[in-house]
Amino acid sequence: MQLATMPPRHHVVRPQFEFPSVLAGKLRSPFGVVLGSPAAAAELAGALPSSDIVGYQMDLFQAARLRAELEERGRFAEVVTAPDLWDLPDPVQTLVYPVALGGERALKIDMIEQAFHVLRPHGVFVVLSPFEKDSFLPNALKKVFGKVHSPMAGSDQIFWCQRQSERPRRRHEMTFQVRVDDVTSLRFLSRPGTFSYGRFDNGARALVETMEIRLGDRVLDLGCGCGTNGIIAARRSGPSGFTTFVDSNLRALALTRINAEGLGIPAVETIASCTLGELPSRTYDVVLANPPYFGQMTIARLFIERGKRCLKPGGRFYLVTRQVEQTFGLMEEAFGQTEAVERRGYVIFQATTS
Ligand SMILES: C[S@@+](CC[C@H](N)C(=O)[O-])C[C@H]1O[C@@H](n2cnc3c(N)ncnc32)[C@H](O)[C@@H]1O
């Protein structure tokens, strides 16, 4: 049977990426690798001519996977997780960006802008496109770097640029409004690479319309994104309430802090975590969750199981999803009796701890 004869993971032989020889003289350390899937970033690190490499990630989970991939390949690189690429502690001479297939356009534009500012003067930015013919990336690069080169004749898959001058830092961000009652509309800041850029997600809207928050409630917002749901809850729980926001994406947490401060929410705590192991031992009256759909329900399971342990007796758990059947199974397993409310094309599961 095929599965039984599969080699163990660390023996899998992958085709090794090689930079075109015309770029060889331009690849000088220190290096940086911008985002990329953990496998792609680790492979690139393996193809660079020195181990003076920093891998930039925005999300703790991706960063942990990148460290594991590097270890599996026996390659050393420092992995730094930060809200912004231009927060890297030291400028780099060469930066390589393996652009994701189907990733967010605004994030690509933002990474190109931030790459400029993290390069040393005359530093080189190498961009690997997933497309055979690409007009978007060269145009976006041209706007920031001026000149764009493509070293592979007949293909648009690799571009490189050089930082020649100075330019002011330009933020790519959007604000959106959320109407919370007849008279109040709240303004939230969002940035590319976080959920959900430039708009209030309909699932989140369904969740905040369903949740019951009482004065003085202590609320835990699991996977908070830019903080909308927990901030709306915090406004309802009033000055005697308290809210903890958790996310694995450091840019999302930075936005949560900006939004909470901008909206005058005094008592907030933000926790960066992808395992929820860093949560404090205190208990909460309410847990809110809008888990992502990737990873075969692993995150939904984590949010449900860990969220339940954070609730005090009689505490309320609210989770919004479109993965109704699988999530219902997880909720029943954790809480027993679970109610479901349909709203805006989503289901909100609610359960109470005994
Ligand atoms: C669907 S978004 C919801 C964001 C926000 N709560 C909302 O409703 O608009 C899911 C969030 O969970 C975060 N996330 C994903 N995996 C996580 C993990 N393992 N630990 C903590 N947060 C995680 C993502 O970064 C993302 O911000």
Residue nearest to atom 19 of ligand 1 (CA): 274
DSSP assignment letter at 192? T
249 CA distance to ligand 1 middle (Å): 8
Residue ranges around ligand 1 (CB below 6 Å) = 61, 195-196, 201, 204, 223-225, 228-229, 246-249, 252, 273-274, 290-292, 299
Q: CB-side exposure of 174: number of CA atoms within 13 Å?
A: 14
Residue nearest to atom 9 of ligand 1 (CA): 204
Structure tokens of 292? 């992502």
Structure tokens of 233? 């809850």
Q: What is the spatial distance between Cα 293 and Cα 285, in angstroms, rounded to a whole number?
A: 26
SS3 content of the chain, % helix, strand, coil (to 5): 35, 25, 40
Q: Which amino acid is at 54?
A: V
Angle at which helices 298-310 and 324-335 cross, to 10°: 30
Cβ atoms of 36 and 9 closer than 8 Å? no
Which tens digit of pLDDT belongs to each residue from 292-329? 987 779 999 999 999 999 999 999 999 999 999 999 99
The minimum-distance atom of ligand 1 relative to the CA of 201 is 9
β-bridge partners, 190 = 174
291 CA distance to ligand 1 middle (Å): 6
Structure tokens of 229? 């749901």
Q: What is the spatial distance between Cα 200 and Cα 208, in angstroms, rounded to a whole number?
A: 11
Q: Which of 176, 226, 249 to mutate to test the pocket of ligand 1 (most atoms within 8 A of CB)?
A: 249
β-bridge partners, 242 = 218
134 CA distance to ligand 1 middle (Å): 31
Over its C-alpha atoms, the chain yields an Rg (Å, rounded) of 23
Q: What is the pLDDT of residue 151?
A: 80
Sheet architecture: strand order including 346-352? 268-272, 242-247, 218-222, 284-289, 311-321, 346-352, 339-343
Q: What is the pLDDT of residue 154?
A: 64
Q: Which amino acid is at 304?
A: I
Q: Which of 224, 293, 346, 348 to mutate to test the pocket of ligand 1 (most atoms within 8 A of CB)?
A: 224
Q: Which of 176, 299, 319, 322 to mutate to test the pocket of ligand 1 (most atoms within 8 A of CB)?
A: 299
Q: What is the spatial distance between Cα 198 and Cα 189, in angstroms, rounded to a whole number?
A: 8
Q: What is the pLDDT of residue 155?
A: 66
Q: CB-side exposure of 6: number of CA atoms within 13 Å?
A: 7
Angle at which helices 228-237 and 202-210 cross, to 10°: 20
* Regions of the chain where pLDDT drops below 50: 1-13
The minimum-distance atom of ligand 1 relative to the CA of 61 is 19
Which tens digit of pLDDT belongs to each residue from 199-254? 999 999 999 999 999 999 999 999 999 999 999 999 999 999 999 999 999 999 99
222 CA distance to ligand 1 middle (Å): 7
Residue nearest to atom 1 of ligand 1 (CA): 292
Q: What is the spatial distance between Cα 81 and Cα 95, in angstroms, rounded to a whole number?
A: 16
Q: What is the pLDDT of residue 102?
A: 84
CA proximity to 346, closest of 227, 211, 197, 217: 211
Cβ atoms of 36 and 69 closer than 8 Å? no
Which domains can be identified in the chain, with CATH numbers? 2-162 (3.40.50.150), 174-352 (3.40.50.150)
CA dihedral 196, 87, 80, 222 (to 10 degrees): -30
- The pTM assigned to this predicted structure is 0.94
19 CA distance to ligand 1 middle (Å): 35
Question: How many beta carbons lie within 10 A of that of residue 96, not counting itself?
Answer: 28
Q: What is the spatial distance between Cα 186 and Cα 184, in angstroms, rounded to a whole number?
A: 7
190 CA distance to ligand 1 middle (Å): 14
Sign of the CA dihedral running 13, 14, 15, 19: negative
DSSP assignment letter at 207? H
Q: What is the pLDDT of residue 11?
A: 42
